[in-house]
């Protein structure tokens, strides 16, 4: 298996619906859209990390950049890997509000849900059998899994359900209480639940990012809240809080 850590990382970065609602502009047009939320596609030419912020320069090197992405120090804790390193020299599609600072346009970047990395071949999830229901890692929002044979200097071992995907799906099948209304209407499908795996394996901040009916969504949350603790993620051997997405499949009872 020759997939790289970087390739696996890129499959976790997904744009939100806000992108579709925002006008798409060129980086050189940013000053015309101050105060508005827009989508821009261009490359990161240089980065700089200061005490209070990290700066990612789009469309040119400082001081000739066309737009600067600004990550506040308070938001850096959401990223396991330094975004200045992982995003430098990458072509991005980014969505956010344009602000003006000292005559230059800037965009605040508080989560990589605002970003899509372009022209990167995704990793093959079939190479990771334990990730069948464990769709992808955002850890936090910059997730990387340790892949055999790759550079162990940036290893992130993602959190997981005890026993892996097969055990998780068996747990769901055994414990699911299929909503009566969903059976009557023939509702079935998949629900994606976002949550944080705490250092002790408990789950917090559970949210539905892709749902079905209200009753099915509630059942998916119940199954995760009442299930066994997860195995927490690790970064360079140290246990860390790790956001994660899990897929809960609803199959109509026979």
pTM of the model: 0.45
pLDDT tens, position by position, 153-207: 336 788 889 988 889 999 999 999 999 999 988 888 889 898 999 999 999 999 9
**Calpha distance 32→26 (Å, rounded):** 10
Q: Where are the domains of the chain?
A: 13-117, 159-250
Q: Do domains 13-117 and 159-250 have the same CATH topology?
A: no
pLDDT digits (tens, 9 = 90+) for 88-97: 788 888 999 9
Average pLDDT over residues 227-238: 91
Query: How high is the pLDDT of residue 30?
Result: 94
Summary mean pLDDT of the chain: 77
- CATH assignment of 13-117, given 3.40.640.10, 1.10.357.10, 2.40.100.10, 2.40.50.140? 2.40.50.140
Q: Which CATH number fits domain 159-250: 3.30.2420, 3.40.50, 1.10.3470, 2.60.40?
A: 3.30.2420
């Amino acid at each position: 298996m020759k997939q790289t850590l970087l390739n696996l990382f890129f499959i976790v970065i997904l744009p939100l619906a806000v992108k579709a609602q925002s006008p798409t502009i060129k980086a050189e047009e940013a000053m015309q859209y101050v105060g508005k939320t827009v989508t821009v596609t261009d490359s990161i030419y240089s980065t700089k990390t200061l005490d209070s912020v990290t700066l990612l320069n789009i469309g040119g090197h400082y001081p000739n950049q066309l737009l600067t992405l600004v990550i506040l120090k308070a938001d850096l804790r959401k990223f396991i890997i330094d975004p200045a390193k992982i995003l430098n020299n990458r072509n991005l599609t980014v969505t956010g509000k344009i602000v003006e600072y000292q005559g230059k346009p800037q965009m605040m970047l508080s989560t990589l849900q605002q970003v899509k990395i372009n022209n990167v071949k995704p990793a093959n999830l079939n190479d990771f059998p334990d990730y069948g229901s464990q769709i992808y890692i955002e850890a936090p929002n910059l997730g990387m899994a340790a892949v055999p044979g790759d550079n162990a200097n940036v290893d992130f071992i993602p959190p997981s359900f005890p026993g892996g995907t097969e055990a998780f799906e068996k747990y769901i099948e055994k414990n699911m209480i299929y909503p009566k209304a969903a059976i009557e209407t023939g509702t079935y499908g998949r629900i994606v639940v976002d949550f944080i795996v705490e250092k002790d394996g408990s789950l917090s901040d559970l949210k539905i990012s892709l749902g079905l009916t209200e009753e099915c969504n509630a059942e998916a949350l119940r199954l995760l809240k009442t299930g066994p603790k997860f195995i927490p993620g690790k970064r360079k051997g140290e246990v860390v809080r790790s956001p994660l997405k899990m897929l809960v499949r609803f199959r109509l009872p026979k």
